[in-house]
Each structure stands twice: as C-alpha cells, then as structure tokens.
Structure 1
Amino acid sequence: MDSLDLEVLKTAAAWLDAGHRCELVTVIKTWGSSPRPIGATLAVRGDGRVVGSVSGGCIEDDLIENVRARGIPEDAVPQVVSYGISADDAHRFGLPCGGTIELAIEPLHAGSGIGELLVRLAAGELLERRLHLASGAVTLAPAAPGATLRLENDTLHTIHGPRWRLFIIGAGPLSRFLAQVASAMDYRVVVCDPREEYRADWNLPGVELVHAMPDDLVLDARLDARSAVVALTHDPKLDDLALMEALKSDAFYVGAIGSRLNNAKRRERLKLFDLSEAQLDRLHGPIGLYIGSKTPSEIGIAILAEMTAAKNGVPTALLVPHAAAPQPATLESCAR
C-alpha cells in the first residue's frame, strides 16, 4: 500500500511513459486553516484526469479547468500560484476560516527525473528534489534527516522518502496490518522476528523483514526522535530487551501489546534492567488509544492513532489511552 503522494508520482510517471502531458502540483505554503499539509501533491493530466489532492476539491476543479482550457505547452515552465487571498476566494475554493494556499505547478517532462526518483525511493533512500522554477531543471540529492520543504533562491526543495521509521517486533497478523497502514503513512517499516515459523509465510512488498534478535536490531538502528518501536510477540524473551533499549533511546513512541496485568508484570521485569521511572513512564501499554478495539485491524488502528498523537505532540490530557480507559475485567484479553 503506497502513500497518496507516492501514488501521485507513480501515476504521473505512467502518464509520461504513455506519452501524456501532465503537471505536478505541490502545496508549498499555507496560511490559516488548510485541508492539506505542506508537501501534499496532485497530478493533472492534459485531458483533465487527476490523482492526489491539494485541497477539499474546489481548487482541484479549478486546476483541471485551467488545464483543459489552455493545455500544457511543451515549453511551459513551473509557476507559483495562490488561492484564497480574499474572503470571496476562500469561500469559492472551499478554504476554511479564510485560509490561503500557495502551490507550485510544474509541467513534467523526461528531464523531470520522476523515474529516477521512484527507483531511488524503492531502494529506501530519503531524497531532496530540487526544482529550478525559472527553467524547470531538476536535480536529486540525499536529504538530511529532518529536512523539510522550502522555497529559496528560485529553487523549490521537496523531500521524498520515508521520514519516519517504525520497528515492529513480531511477524503476526497484527504486524501485517500495522505494517501496511504505516507504510501508507510514509513510515519506513522494519519487521523483526527470529522465529522461522512466523517468517515463513511473510510476504509484504515494501516492508523489510529481518531475523535478528530484536534488541540487536534496536541497538543497530540508532533510534532517533523520528523512530517508533512496537513489541507484538507476547514473548518476554523477544520483547523485554528490545523495549529496554528503546526506552533508553530518543524514540518518540515505544509500545507493547498485552493485558493490563501482563503490562504490570512487564514493568516489574524492566525495573530489573535499571531503567529510571521516567524511562518506564515512556512505555505505552496496554498499547493504543481506547476505541473498543478487538480485531487485529481495530487494534492496529488504535496503535497508529496513539503513535500519530505522540508524533504530532497532542497533549495527553486530550487522549484516552487503552491503559487509562475504565474497563470491566471481563473485557481484558490477551489481545490487549
């Protein structure tokens, strides 16, 4: 499962290969409220077909109408346009609360480097694509960790590739769903399971599967503030040491599956590893937000919701973690 913006690039590349003209539209700035974030993309084909999104729909309609009316000349160069500067425009284009959005519109061609970009993204690279607005010339270079989209000196720098990392311990059904959805959310996902019987039937394109011991993987990964670790095996021999190392790191999220009772026992075991109370408090368990989840897919959504809240700095007072939710003992299960 690809992220929406990766789907945009793949579709645009296919259109170019088929001989179609198309434009790549990128959100480069917003003021006030905006339906889509900076870096969101859209591709418009010469006949008006579209993939991706830069707003709630009205701006897309205007972009399609413009392409159909004027076409995409072969000598066209990139341009920067703004929508929603006036209150009337904001209402017309569906921008909430008088928001304004600035877009880069780039006519694509053989020299746009979309094919090379896709090949290097498939290899797991984090790349910076530099578009010279006056000429349409494009170069690709490795992106620095934490790099963000910026427009400077008439050059648009966009960042492509996995900007967040998720390490999943265990290769079960829940791991499969979690890996699929996280990949679509622009995570680079690594699944670790030394148990051959769990790895045998694992086949998920775009997700790396390793058979190292989980604690070795966590150490080798050098976790940073853009990394998350989720332990899903229920096996202390696999989970505990990896969690210990993760809790000592800068990872923005560390979580483990299990009931409240099992998580209490896990915390007691982790205390033996000389973790501080502050480090232990970083452990999310029972994992996920409380949404009444029971099936693997529902539990996966709960985990990703809690991860997303942690990544985006949502105050804990606004959340109801599963660990804090009032539940009758009869509803506790090994799945939680």
Structure 2
Amino acid sequence: MNSTDRQVLDAALRWAADGHRFALVTVARTWGSAPRPPGSWMALRDDGQVQGSVSGGCIEADLIERLLREGFASSEPYAVKYGVTQDEARRFGLPCGGTMELVIEPWPDLAALETLSAVVERGELARRTVVMGQEGCTITAASAADSLSWDEHALSTVHGPAWRLLIIGAGQISSYLAQMAQALDYQVFLCDPRSEYAAEWQVPGTRLLPGMPDDVVLELNPDAHTAVVALTHDPKLDDMALLEALKAPAFYVGALGSRLNNRRRRERLLEHFDLTADEVARLHGPVGLPIGSRTPPEIALAVLAEMTAVRNGVWSPDGLRPKRAAAEAGCRAA
C-alpha cells in the first residue's frame, strides 16, 4: 500500500511522461476548522484530473475550475487563501470560519520531483523547499524531528516515512499490519528469529531485521516517532522485545494476548526484569482498540487504530477523549 506522498509523486511523474502539464498544491497553513492539515498536497493535471487532496472536495473543485478557465499563467509559486470570510468559508466547506492558505506551483521542478520520489522509495525522509516567486525547489535530507515550516516567503515540507514501526513476529496479523502502516507513512521493520516464519515474510517495502528481539530493539534505538508491537504470542520472544522497548521513548509499545495473559506478562516483567512500574504501565495489552476484532486483518486494524489514537493525542486508558496533544512529525506550521 502506498502513502499519499507516493501516490501524488507517482501520478505527477506519470503525467509528465505522458506529456501533460500539472500543478502542485500544498496546504501551507490553516486557521480554525479545516478538512486537511498543513502539508497535505495534491497534483492537478491540465485536463482537471487530480491526485491527492487539500480539502473535502469544494476547494479542489474551485481549483479545477480556475485551471480549466484561466490556466496557471505564472510559472512561479504563489500563495492563495480560502475561507477568508464567513460566506467563503461556508461555500468551501470550512466550518466555524476556517481558513486555509495554499501554495500553488504552476510549473514544478520535474528533476527535483524525480529525486524526491527516489528518496521516498528508499524509505528515507526528505525536505522540499519552495520559495514564492522563484522557480524550482530544493531537496535536502530530513529527520523525523523536522516539521513543516511556512513564513509566507518559503514553504518547506517533509516527505517520506516520518514514523517507524517494529513488528515482532512474521505471522498473518503482522502482514496486514505492515501493509496498513505503510499507507500511514510508517517505515516498517520486522523481526522474527524463527526461520520457518521469517522465510515466508513477503511484504514489499518492509525490512526484515536479523537477530533476537531485544538486540533488534536496541539496534533500532526507538525514539518518540517509533512504535513497537509484539505479535508472536510467544512470551520468550515478545518479552525480550518488550523489556527493551518499554525503557525507550517509543510512543507506543503493544503486545498481543488476552487480558489474563497480559496481566501475567506485566507481573512477569516487574518480577524478573529491570523495569519500573511506570515503564510496565506503558504497555498496551491487549493490543489494539476493542472493536470486536477476531480475524487477522481486523486485529491489525484495531492495533493501527490504537496507534493512531495515541499518535494523535486522543487515547487514554479509559477510552478515547477529545484531542489534546499529538506527537508531531512533519506537519506543524511555523
């Protein structure tokens, strides 16, 4: 499964190869309620075809109409605002007086897009900077700590997998979880020392890491943009990963198993390993939101939903709550 970065880039490069002109549109900043966050982008072809999105559809429709009616006369990037007035906000589906500031690139640098596509394809992060009134753009290396910046003169956006997911165990649940996670811009790693399982791992775009789970966690060095999910259902393997992951600043650590098994796991981690009560309390187990999931894809969906809730700052031990503080990665307007 492809991320939105890959979908937009693939479409743009495909259109260019077919002789089409296209523009790139990026959400630079929002005020109030807006359907898409800063960093969202779309490619708009000269015949009105689009890939990606910057709103719920109304703004796209206006941009398409503007393109087909007037074309993008300028070749240099420029900024536009939607929803400046209450009437305009209602017209474009921006509730509560929401406003969006967009950067439009009528003639994107094709060579730079090819470079960006290659970087994203390798699972790396890149920063793309566009200067208003200046043709072309620059592509530089980025890290997970980088975020979008916009000062009304230059727009810098971060592209590629801003999050990392380490999965312990190469079973069916892991396969579905890996595919779904890639669509949400996770760089996915898999560890399973059991050769009979690892030999059958065939999820494109993921990386199989050799070694025992505890060593792999230490080597990966989880940070605040990393999730670790243990899915072997074998305490000998899962616990090895958890004892290191729970000490790290990973934003999410989860383990498969029933409530009883996870209670016993917590007791075991406290009794036999060098973990504090606060560290063990970080464990999500049973892993995933309680949505009645039973099949492997349903369980994977529940896990990724809980990861997303934690990442977006809406998860609590008592259930979902109004959004407060989200872990950020490449989508904050400066």
Whether the 8 Å CA contact 1:112–1:138 is kept in 2: the answer is no
Q: Distance in 1 between matches of 2:187 and 2:250?
A: 14
Whether the 8 Å CA contact 2:148–2:158 is kept in 1: the answer is yes
- CA 1:21/1:150 → structure 2, altered by over 3 Å: closer, same or farther? same
Note the C-alpha offset of 1:226: 0.8
1:175-254 maps to which residues of 2 (within 5 A)?
175-254=174-253
Q: Distance in 2 between matches of 1:157 and 1:4?
A: 17
Higher relative contact order (CA 8 A, sep 6+): 2
Whether the 8 Å CA contact 2:33–2:96 is kept in 1: the answer is yes
The superposition leaves residues 176-222 of structure 1 with CA deviations (integer Å, 9 ceiling, x where unpaired) of 11011110001111111111211222211111122321111100111
1:1-336 maps to which residues of 2 (within 5 A)?
1-73=1-73, 76-111=75-110, 113-152=112-151, 154-271=153-270, 272-316=272-316, 319=319
The superposition leaves residues 56-78 of structure 1 with CA deviations (integer Å, 9 ceiling, x where unpaired) of 111000000011112245x6111
Secondary structure of the 1:28 match is: strand
Q: TM-score, normalised by structure 1?
A: 0.91
The superposition leaves residues 77-135 of structure 1 with CA deviations (integer Å, 9 ceiling, x where unpaired) of 11100000101101111111221011001123454511111111111211111112211
Note the C-alpha offset of 1:5: 3.1
The superposition leaves residues 285-336 of structure 1 with CA deviations (integer Å, 9 ceiling, x where unpaired) of 1111111111111111111111111111215166169xxxxxxxxxxxxxxx
Matched residue count: 320
Secondary structure of the 2:143 match is: coil
Q: Distance in 1 between matches of 2:5 and 2:258?
A: 37
Q: TM-score, normalised by structure 2?
A: 0.92
Q: Residue type of the partner of 1:67?
A: L
Seq. identity, %: 54
Q: Distance in 2 between matches of 1:217 and 1:77?
A: 47
Q: Distance in 1 between matches of 2:76 and 2:316?
A: 47
Note the C-alpha offset of 1:153: 7.1
* RMSD of aligned alpha carbons: 1.6
Q: Distance in 2 between matches of 1:64 and 1:278?
A: 53
Secondary structure of the 2:205 match is: coil
Whether the 8 Å CA contact 1:258–1:286 is kept in 2: the answer is yes
- CA 1:24/1:78 → structure 2, altered by over 3 Å: closer, same or farther? same
Bigger mean CA deviation after superposition, 124-133 or 53-62? 124-133
Q: Distance in 2 between matches of 1:80 and 1:320?
A: 37
Q: Distance in 2 between matches of 1:301 and 1:250?
A: 24
Bigger mean CA deviation after superposition, 150-159 or 46-55? 150-159
- CA 1:130/1:308 → structure 2, altered by over 3 Å: closer, same or farther? same
Q: Residue type of the partner of 1:311?
A: R
Q: Distance in 1 between matches of 2:122 and 2:146?
A: 19
Q: Distance in 1 between matches of 2:277 and 2:310?
A: 19
Secondary structure of the 2:35 match is: coil
| Structure 1 gap ranges (5+) | 322-336
Q: Distance in 2 between matches of 1:143 and 1:118?
A: 14
Q: Distance in 2 between matches of 1:145 and 1:290?
A: 30
Match of 1:333 in 2: none
Runs of 4+ in 1 over 6 A off after TM superposition: none
